[in-house]
Amino acid sequence: MEFTAKLAPNEYPPYAKIYLEHLAHNDIIGILQERKNLVAQFYKNISEEQANFAYASGKWSIKEVLLHVVDAERVFSYRAVALARGEKMPLPGFDQDLYVQNSLANKRSLASIIAEFEAVRASSISLYQNLCPEVLLNEGNANGFSVTPRALAALSAGHEIHHTKIIAERYLPLLA
């Protein structure tokens, strides 16, 4: 089994479908690699002032969205390594709103968050490149749902694409 094979519906939770639809092909490691530089460049074209913008009351700022992507990718990678290593205990979920609130992203520079994204993405790529094919379908429970390491790699890619599109479609037009 490889990362390039199509995911089976039993490999990922139902909520993941919205993220997985963003994947143009099944070469998940290729997508993660492609997107690393594209995403960094995308955010480097946003000014520090613009990065603190939220398009509506109660919505996250651009910095908060990007740091949320970083946090989620860390969580997905942890889950992937735990399952790849044979973890049988259910893995916890995380409260994304609490994480964003406590990230204090708006007190940081956008450049520091971009650098953190690049570092986390490089780490994720290294992890997934070095997982043996025989562990990619190790099934486990994360946040109450059945999932595999292979699906978690795809979730990292699709989740980032989803949020980058939201920034491009909902935030940037209001800043033009």
Residue of 138, 168, 169 whose CA lies nearest to 153: 138
Confidence (pLDDT) at 86: 97
Is the model's pLDDT at 49 over the cut of 60?
Answer: yes
> Residue range 38-66: average pLDDT?
97
Mean pLDDT of 120-149: 97
Q: What are the residue ranges of helices labelled H in 85-109?
A: 96-103
The angle subtended at Cα 154 by Cα 106 and Cα 18, nearest 5°, is: 75
pLDDT > 80? residue 5: no
Whose tokens are 């989620």? That residue is: 72
Residue 65 has pLDDT above 80, yes or no: yes
**How far apart, in whole angstroms, are the C-alpha atoms of residue 148 and residue 3?**
11
Q: Look at residues 68, 61, 45, 40 and name the one whose alpha carbon lies nearest to residue 156.
A: 68
* Residue 40, strand partner residues: none
* pLDDT at 70 exceeding the cut of 90: yes
Mean predicted confidence (pLDDT) in 62-90: 98
All domains in the chain, ordered by first residue: 25-175 (1.20.120.450)
**pLDDT score, position 123:** 98
pLDDT more than 90, % of the chain: 95
* Rounded-to-integer distance, Cα 116 and Cα 111, Å: 9
Predicted local confidence at residue 6, as pLDDT: 86
Mean pLDDT within 134-141: 96
pLDDT at residue 128, as a whole number: 97
pLDDT of 2 higher than 90: no
| pLDDT, averaged across the chain | 96
Say what the pLDDT of residue 52 is: 98
- Residue 82 above 60 pLDDT? yes
> Which residues are registered as beta bridge partners of 91?
142
